Structure 1
Amino acid sequence: MHCAARLAEMLNQYSGELHEFSEDDLTANFMMSEIQILEESKGIQLPNFLPRTAFLAILQKKVEEVSHIPVDFAEKVWTYIEGVIMSVLMPRSENYHQLQLSTRREVYNQMEKMKERSRNWVTEIVQMEKLTDYTSDPAYLNDWNGLMAQQQEFMDALENSCFFEFQIEGLGEVAIRGLRAYEQPVLLQAFDLKMRMAAYWKIVLRRLVDFMALHLQFCARNLVNKEMEEEIVKELFGRHDGAIEGMLEESPAVAAKREKLNVSIKLLSESKNVLANIMDRITTNI
């Protein structure tokens, strides 16, 4: 079944979906949300001060928009793992109907527990990303500095009415025509806020992918190598006396087949004895 390879493929698809879903609008709405949030977060403060509340407001909105993707992905992975486990365990107990039912029930219960555990874990990770803007990864400052180095060229393009688009290395081509209605201080702050978020958002997406990969691999290994065996054994031996014998009873179809074979064996044995007596008589008469 190559389960590890399939999980790697699913993780790559999850990463691609996460990045694609959270792509910014670089056309008519470029920097508009940043300008609006800056307007709403005005206060009695220095004019060149970038309020942290504005950054957190944008961050929380972006995280909330993608929050369903990790949850759906975890659900998808555990459903797949459940199918793999079932395909391994069920053929080994197909002759014992009660044992198969008990094993199937325990696998289902364990999968539901793992799905619930992952949902809770993902929810906690999402809430942490919403509330805290932090990273020790030097890539954040490197990316932000690279983006901010283009700020003056961006402002120059805004002053030149011949330009309707501007190429920002690291983001792509953005529409700037609608930004000329705003004053320069607002545009400078909005550009800074946009570049900070662009650099930091890469870190957030990387964490959502990496943490999910570590979490699922750790939980899957524990489930297969330890928890599943313990829970199945507990399910079987934790019952009342005589339950194990009941678990090992054959299914009605197998029991009927066995009874039919036993009858056939009995008839064949009787036929053999009758045939042997006939042969003895023939030999005696000769």
Structure 2
Amino acid sequence: MSKKLQMGAKQANAAADTKSAAADSAVTASAIVASYDDQIRPLLDAVDRLRHLKVTQEGIQLPTIVVVGDQSSGKSSVLESLAGISLPRGQGICTRVPLVMWLQDDPSVDSPKLQLEYGSGRVVATTEAKVADAINAATAEIVGSGKGISDAPITLVVRKRGVPDLTLFDLPGITRVSVQGQPEDIYNLVTKIIMEYIAPKESIILNVLSATVDFPTCESIRMSQQVDRTGERTLAVVTKVDKAPEGLLEKVTMDDVNIGLGYVCVRNRIGDETYDQARVEEERLFKYHPLLSKIDKSMVGIPVLAQRLMQTQAGIIAKCLPDIVKQIKNCLSRSIVELDQMPQDLNNIADAVRVFFHNVKQVCNSLEKVLVRGKFDKYLYEREFHGTARIAEMLSGCKGHQPPQLPAPISVPSPAQEEGRDDRSGSSRPCQRRLGVRQGPCDELLKHSDNFPQMQSSCRSAVQSLMDKVRVRSAQHVKEVIAMELVGDYTANPDYMKTWAPSFTFVVDLQDRPCRSKPTKIILEGFGEVDVSHLRVHADLAGKAFDLRARLTAYWKSIVLRLVDGLALHVLLSVKLLVEKDLEEELGNELLANKLAVVEKMLAPSPSTGTKRERLKKSIVLLRQSKEVVANNMDRISAAGEV
């Protein structure tokens, strides 16, 4: 009796220990689930919501798990095992468009909830029994009923109890030979799609390999190595292990192809097995098979694969999310600035008139800066806008065009003769052609009116008309200056006396010294060497003639200087009037002459402007929503990284 009591006590203790262990296990499992729900699940939901918002359209890459593999490697079977649903099957390429599988573990649903999203927001509800047909129908809508492929994705949302929280991108299988109905360049098309998805550093590559082939010969391995040479973001899944168990242990342990995230060997559903039956058979295979049982249990089974994928996904999200937040903020700031810089919506004539004259004012301010004040910081390397420097250069050229001495004949020309001569009026011609830096106002106005191309034609016409008026006014000014010179000889320039003074020395030398002791040639400042031997006999007359010549030569220098200075002041005054008064008046007259037709055109934005404005508005709304999605999850990143 005592033995029975002892045995009963032992059994009771064992039962108590079992219950305690079970309770501890339940507590641990509960803690893991709570940690997952509190820290990881919100991050996964945040990224999935960003993907649903299509934030990738703004150039922002999201962490993704991309499933690649050679044709018939078992990609679809792996995805079926993870999701517990049947996908399209058949010969050749079954996946003809990227299939985004969004798996959500939802204990609250009694039966699975499935829906397809594709095209421009189209949503189609389906069931487990009909999901394959629904995917085929959606694919046919996108790429046709043939065997072609497309990069337009289909999203399959699966809300089901017990599935892993994963988002997987299933891509077309790699094939080198096209079959009937497929494009001849099918390999290039598939490669292009795959490389676009696996190239971003945020992508995790799930490489599906068949145990029946040598891994180094797989095309999917070659592609993944091109973008992930070290394999740090590549995880390999080995299928069909029951068909080629020999040497598999060496393949997955030696790792000749740099699979940085390791291998997971799986057995997929065969025939009419249910997914639960398939998992039981998989467990038995890796437990009792003489070769496969030697593979470490951390490297076998669909449950292990699901857990590895969730951990990898959580890690990459925790790593990338801060940068995603930064990219969203930067894109949002750029879009807001770009929208602010666009022309405002004009609702009435008054708004258009106000914007019109605001642009005119900006033009005048810019021209005043470069033409009057000589500040070229805005156009450091655009020499044609350096107004004051160009005016000085042109006037210097005008002066250089004049002969250094009085042109012959020295007779005073009549007004009729003067109009057709180039000796005295020639100084004005280069300035007449280029007065006021002719292209400056027009080019500057067109720059400031880029936002309103409707007004550019009228503004260009007004500016050209204004410049024609300026040229006529300048030509008239030059004629008046010449006419003033013909009225009489007058100058108060002290240089006149300095130039004329050497003539006194010449006259004295010519008259006072005896002919035999006087040189036949003398050098005079401004005249050079002069032969005077034939003038000795007519000393009085020669002295008077030379005095007249000296006076005219000195006076000619004063005339040239007076013309150039006068033209310079005239140009500066014309430019000042242009930017302070004339341009605004001319544009105003153009506006009124056409009965406000210019501003009426401004009310209707150009198609490109309207399209751009709408695009920016939509982008700002999307980015603001995306910013809100990630804002509440930043505090979970560090915690998720430790899980």
Give the TM-score of the pair, scaled to structure 1.
0.66
| Alignment correspondent of 1:255 | 607
AA in 1 matched with 2:435:
V
| Alignment correspondent of 2:431 | 73
> In 2 relative to 1, CA 228–137 (structure 1 residues): closer, same or farther, beyond 3 Å?
same
85-94 or 154-163, larger mean C-alpha shift: 154-163
How far has the Cα of 1:135 moved from its partner?
1.8
1:93 paired to 2:449: yes
1:126 paired to 2:478: no
How far has the Cα of 1:226 moved from its partner?
1.4
In 1, Cα distance between equivalents of 2:530 and 2:387: 45
Q: Is contact 2:462-2:586 (8 Å) kept?
A: yes
> In 2 relative to 1, CA 104–173 (structure 1 residues): closer, same or farther, beyond 3 Å?
same
Paired residues for 1:103-252 under 5 Å: 103-153=459-509, 159=515, 165-169=521-525, 171-176=526-531, 179-180=534-535, 183-240=538-595, 243-247=598-602, 249-250=604-605
| Alignment correspondent of 1:7 | 391
AA in 1 matched with 2:386:
H
Q: Is contact 2:454-2:598 (8 Å) kept?
A: no
In 2, Cα distance between equivalents of 1:262 and 1:161: 100
Q: Is contact 2:438-2:467 (8 Å) kept?
A: yes
How far has the Cα of 1:164 moved from its partner?
6.1
In 2, Cα distance between equivalents of 1:157 and 1:13: 45
How far has the Cα of 1:134 moved from its partner?
1.2
Give the TM-score of the pair, scaled to structure 2.
0.32
> In 2 relative to 1, CA 139–158 (structure 1 residues): closer, same or farther, beyond 3 Å?
farther
257-266 or 92-101, larger mean C-alpha shift: 257-266
How far has the Cα of 1:106 moved from its partner?
0.7
AA in 1 matched with 2:431:
F
SS in 2 for 1:9: helix
SS in 2 for 1:245: helix
How far has the Cα of 1:221 moved from its partner?
0.3
AA in 1 matched with 2:439:
G
AA in 2 matched with 1:71:
R
Q: Is contact 1:165-1:173 (8 Å) kept?
A: no
AA in 2 matched with 1:67:
S
The count of aligned residue pairs is 231
Task: Give the number of the structure whose alpha-carbon radius of gyration is greater.
Answer: 2
**Superimposed CA distance per residue, residues 67-106 of structure 1 (whole angstroms, 9 cap, x where no aligned partner):** 122133232223xx22121221111213433310111111
SS in 2 for 1:174: strand
Q: Is contact 1:165-1:175 (8 Å) kept?
A: yes
In 2, Cα distance between equivalents of 1:192 and 1:186: 10
**Superimposed CA distance per residue, residues 107-159 of structure 1 (whole angstroms, 9 cap, x where no aligned partner):** 10010000000001101111221231112334323432343233233568995
Q: Is contact 1:82-1:111 (8 Å) kept?
A: yes
Q: Is contact 1:158-1:176 (8 Å) kept?
A: no
Unaligned runs of 5+ in 1: 26-31, 35-53, 270-286
In 2, Cα distance between equivalents of 1:179 and 1:24: 23
Paired residues for 1:35-54 under 5 Å: none
AA in 2 matched with 1:11:
L
In 2, Cα distance between equivalents of 1:175 and 1:237: 68
AA in 1 matched with 2:433:
E
In 2, Cα distance between equivalents of 1:143 and 1:177: 20
SS in 2 for 1:127: helix
> In 2 relative to 1, CA 248–133 (structure 1 residues): closer, same or farther, beyond 3 Å?
farther
In 2, Cα distance between equivalents of 1:210 and 1:188: 33
In 1, Cα distance between equivalents of 2:580 and 2:545: 52
AA in 2 matched with 1:23:
Q
In 2, Cα distance between equivalents of 1:92 and 1:125: 37
**Superimposed CA distance per residue, residues 150-194 of structure 1 (whole angstroms, 9 cap, x where no aligned partner):** 32335689956996643112x141342695598334322210111
AA in 2 matched with 1:87:
D
Q: Is contact 1:98-1:247 (8 Å) kept?
A: yes
AA in 1 matched with 2:398:
Y
In 2, Cα distance between equivalents of 1:11 and 1:172: 26
How far has the Cα of 1:57 moved from its partner?
5.8
Q: Is contact 1:140-1:203 (8 Å) kept?
A: yes
State the superposition RMSD in angstroms: 3.7
Unaligned runs of 5+ in 2: 1-384, 622-643
Q: Identity, % of aligned pairs?
A: 28
| More strand per residue | 2
SS in 1 for 2:523: strand
AA in 2 matched with 1:255:
P
SS in 2 for 1:109: helix
How far has the Cα of 1:233 moved from its partner?
2.3
> In 2 relative to 1, CA 233–147 (structure 1 residues): closer, same or farther, beyond 3 Å?
same
